[in-house]
Chains A and B, each alone.
Chain A
Amino acid sequence: MSQEARARILHHLRQRTDRALSVPTSNFRVMTPDTPTREQMLERFERCLTSVHGEVIHTPAAQWTDALRDLLQARQLKRLLLPARHAVGVEARAALADTEVEPMTYDRPIEDWQSELFEKVEVSLTSTEGGIAETGSLILWPDADQPRLMSLVPPIHIAVLDADRLYPTFQEAMQREHWATRMPTNVLLISGPSKTADIEQTLAYGVHGPRELIVLVRHP
């Protein structure tokens, strides 16, 4: 059935009633504005993210785990889901060893601990592949160590972003990092905590994804 439909659809598209279509050119110049400075990108990123209730905490790279510890203590968060192998997770785990924080790792298939992930994890910590200044977005490439649901299921998501990995635009990020030749299973752009305006166009946060997104920006 599907193969027959395929043949018919493609045939119908190829045998147009009107003449063959010409292929137009696309002028992408509008997508490449003047190159902003590092400070401008950081300022824009923070303004965009905070405008949608995201939170940005700046910290020297050498002391980022202090900022994390302070944050967790201030919010009284204990059950923290963090990467097992990525440096962000390793450093965080070491720094939190003598605190009340109870580290958890996503080291089993979701099917084996789904209800625990959904009901017990209070906060997750992930690394990022970078950020996009124009829209206040984080780039995440989920993998075996940092699966997709880490940035979706826990009510609070903390993401670590290195200041020197901020790109002016999405276009530039994807070009510079050659996405087209190496797309992974899943890529995410995250631009704030989840939200809806489906009830009388009134904005409400924390619908199905996290209700809080906190970005730790590490400065070298």
Chain B
Amino acid sequence: MDGLMQKRATALQDHDTEALRDLGAAIRQRALSQLPDLLEQLEANCTRNGIQVHWAQDGDQACQIITDICQQQGARSVIKGKSMVSEEMELNHHLAEVGITALESDLGEYIVQLAEETPSHIIMPAIHKNTEEISELLHDKTGTQRSQDVDYLTASARAQMRQAFQRADVGLSGANFAIAETGTLCLVENEGNGRMSTTVPPCHIAVTGIEKVVQHLADVPPLLSLLTRSATGQHITTYLNMITGPRKAEEQDGPQAVHLVLVDNGRSDIYQDDQLLDTLRCIRCGACMNHCPVYTRVGGHTYGTTYPGPIGKILMPHLLGLEDTRDLPSASSLCGACGEVCPVRIPIPELLVRLRREAVDGDSSRPSVVRGHGVKRHWTEVGVWRAWAWLNSHPRCYRAALRLVMALRFLSPRRLGGWTRYRKAPRPAARSLHQHLLQRNRSSS
């Protein structure tokens, strides 16, 4: 990760970084503040351009929509560019259930798929594997000759994928940005597999979260600038692919059908709350992971969720509910590095603290939009705090309790489970601080 940190810092040198981040945050916030209107505008413009727009409330519904489109196409194979949303909804699994093969074409995703694993980083999915492991994997699964030569391994994967692109019935992609003003999908990549997937097969399905819409075409250059520099330290990726419609009558290539599936999957819940809304500004650059001391040591799989790292800790509690993600907001030292490098200024540390409170807070005075809030609420803990609060607001009872505790101090337990494995058990003092101060005041007067 040190390399990625350095590359990001270097790439941002020739810009006023802070002003650019302010602009990025403002652009994303401007889109979010008008989200329902922009989604309608996006739909209208896409439809006018010939792109069919579908809406899905959750992952299962989105999978159903995509499966239906594939079956209408008579599809047996889907080639995937790259889409974290499709991972979120476990699309490959759903397609397999109806006999449709989904093949990943991003090199890292391809490696991860061959290994029957899940991605461990949102930009570099196979970052947890070294060359030898990849060589062995390609050898076992595809017959590739063992080699430590990265160029050879890459060329071998390329040759295999070239056949797959030509055979695929449907190409599936995500979208880095969807432009409401023009009804255009923007895809960023280095390898060319995304362009292959969105051009060669007769049908292209783009699936994205509802929060990915931006208002104007002019909003793209600043976000693109921030995304590529923050992600891999490049001034720009090899390809920016902007798709505004299916193949026209006189054109010779490109898909005859283009579909856009807009997925909610909990995002509209996040949208309800002024503070949590900041989470939706994310442009999926991965910089927070690259700079996170926890992520860099435990790796992406440890989180057990589609999105790992800092962004995963503030997003997955909403997508999956806190019942299944209760420990994620606590898996942080709150060092603040993620907040410092976020290109769109998401205050990740503050959101982590907020979600920690949500996990224990069962308060009904204000409705919570976080599913599973209060899941870590323990009645013994609640009882202790309530008793403590009551005691401290009743001075006579407090003093009586204090005297009782001091009088019985020798009865305090010597063993307190794990705490006393390495520490001495605490024992109340013979005299309270109040008494010490009273004595001191008395002797000084």
Segment at the B interface, from A57-65, A69-77, A93-101, A110-118: A110-118
Partner of A5, one of B4, B40, B158, B264: B264
A13 interface residue per 8 A CB criterion: yes
Whether the pair A188, B19 counts as a contact (CB closer than 8 A) is no
B140 interface residue per 8 A CB criterion: no
Partner of B253, one of A149, A195, A199, A202: A149
A91 interface residue per 8 A CB criterion: no
Whether the pair A10, B39 counts as a contact (CB closer than 8 A) is yes
Whether the pair A191, B241 counts as a contact (CB closer than 8 A) is no
Whether the pair A185, B200 counts as a contact (CB closer than 8 A) is no
Whether the pair B252, A202 counts as a contact (CB closer than 8 A) is no
Whether the pair B158, A200 counts as a contact (CB closer than 8 A) is no
A111–B246 Cα distance when bound, in Å, is 15
A197–B153 Cα distance when bound, in Å, is 12
A192 interface residue per 8 A CB criterion: yes
A212–B242 Cα distance when bound, in Å, is 22
With A115-B166, A188-B241, A192-B238 already in contact, the answer to whether A207 and B193 are too (CB < 8 A) is yes
Whether the pair B192, A198 counts as a contact (CB closer than 8 A) is no
Whether the pair B33, A16 counts as a contact (CB closer than 8 A) is no
With A179-B217, A208-B105 already in contact, the answer to whether A196 and B272 are too (CB < 8 A) is no
Segment at the B interface, from A34-42, A123-131, A166-174: A166-174
Whether the pair A208, B166 counts as a contact (CB closer than 8 A) is no
B294 interface residue per 8 A CB criterion: no
Closest B residue, CB atoms, query A155: B158
Closest B residue, CB atoms, query A20: B33
B199 interface residue per 8 A CB criterion: yes
Whether the pair A199, B26 counts as a contact (CB closer than 8 A) is no
Closest B residue, CB atoms, query A15: B272
- List which A145-198 residues lie within 8 A (CB) of chain B: 147-149, 152, 169-171, 174-175, 179-180, 183-198
Whether the pair B30, A198 counts as a contact (CB closer than 8 A) is no
Contacts of A118 in B (CB 8 A): 162, 166
Contacts of B191 in A (CB 8 A): 194-196, 207-209
B 188-211 binary contact with A (CB < 8 Å = 1; else 0): 001111011001101000000010
Whether the pair A200, B131 counts as a contact (CB closer than 8 A) is yes
Whether the pair B222, A180 counts as a contact (CB closer than 8 A) is no
Partner of A171, one of B184, B221, B252: B221
Whether the pair A10, B252 counts as a contact (CB closer than 8 A) is no
Partner of A27, one of B26, B252, B272: B26
- List which B328-381 residues lie within 8 A (CB) of chain A: 367, 369
How many whole Å from B87's CB to the nearest CB in chain A? 16
Whether the pair A186, B55 counts as a contact (CB closer than 8 A) is no
A12–B236 Cα distance when bound, in Å, is 36
Whether the pair A152, B192 counts as a contact (CB closer than 8 A) is yes
With A5-B61, A201-B124 already in contact, the answer to whether A171 and B264 are too (CB < 8 A) is no
With A1-B64, A10-B39, A208-B193 already in contact, the answer to whether A199 and B239 are too (CB < 8 A) is no
B315 interface residue per 8 A CB criterion: no
Whether the pair B33, A201 counts as a contact (CB closer than 8 A) is no
Whether the pair A110, B253 counts as a contact (CB closer than 8 A) is yes
How many whole Å from A53's CB to the nearest CB in chain B? 10
A177–B273 Cα distance when bound, in Å, is 40
How many whole Å from B434's CB to the nearest CB in chain A? 44
Contacts of A169 in B (CB 8 A): 221
Contacts of A31 in B (CB 8 A): 23, 221-222, 225
Contacts of A48 in B (CB 8 A): 235
Interface centre among A3, A6, A19, A185 (most CB of B within 10 A): A185
Partner of B252, one of A18, A109, A194: A109
With A152-B195, A209-B239 already in contact, the answer to whether A30 and B23 are too (CB < 8 A) is yes
Contacts of B169 in A (CB 8 A): none
Interface centre among B129, B221, B248 (most CB of A within 10 A): B221
A192–B197 Cα distance when bound, in Å, is 19
Contacts of B181 in A (CB 8 A): 180
Contacts of A184 in B (CB 8 A): 244
A166–B322 Cα distance when bound, in Å, is 52
Whether the pair B27, A26 counts as a contact (CB closer than 8 A) is yes
B 414-440 binary contact with A (CB < 8 Å = 1; else 0): 000000000000000000000000000
Whether the pair A24, B107 counts as a contact (CB closer than 8 A) is no
With A171-B221, A180-B182, A194-B191 already in contact, the answer to whether A23 and B235 are too (CB < 8 A) is no
Whether the pair A16, B271 counts as a contact (CB closer than 8 A) is yes
Interface centre among B127, B222, B235 (most CB of A within 10 A): B235
Partner of B273, one of A14, A18, A26: A18
A87 interface residue per 8 A CB criterion: no
Whether the pair B244, A207 counts as a contact (CB closer than 8 A) is no
B 51-83 binary contact with A (CB < 8 Å = 1; else 0): 000111100010011000000000000000000
- List which B254-304 residues lie within 8 A (CB) of chain A: 254, 262, 264, 268-269, 271-274, 277
Contacts of A25 in B (CB 8 A): 26, 30
Beyond contacts A180-B182, A207-B158: 10 other A-B pairs, Cβ-Cβ < 8 A, are: A1-B65, A13-B271, A16-B271, A24-B29, A31-B221, A144-B248, A144-B252, A179-B217, A195-B191, A199-B131
Cross-chain pairs A/B with CB under 8 angstroms, 27 sampled: A2-B56, A5-B55, A12-B271, A13-B271, A17-B367, A21-B274, A27-B22, A110-B252, A114-B166, A142-B254, A183-B183, A185-B243, A185-B251, A186-B244, A189-B236, A192-B238, A197-B232, A198-B111, A198-B124, A199-B107, A204-B150, A204-B153, A207-B157, A208-B162, A209-B192, A209-B238, A210-B192
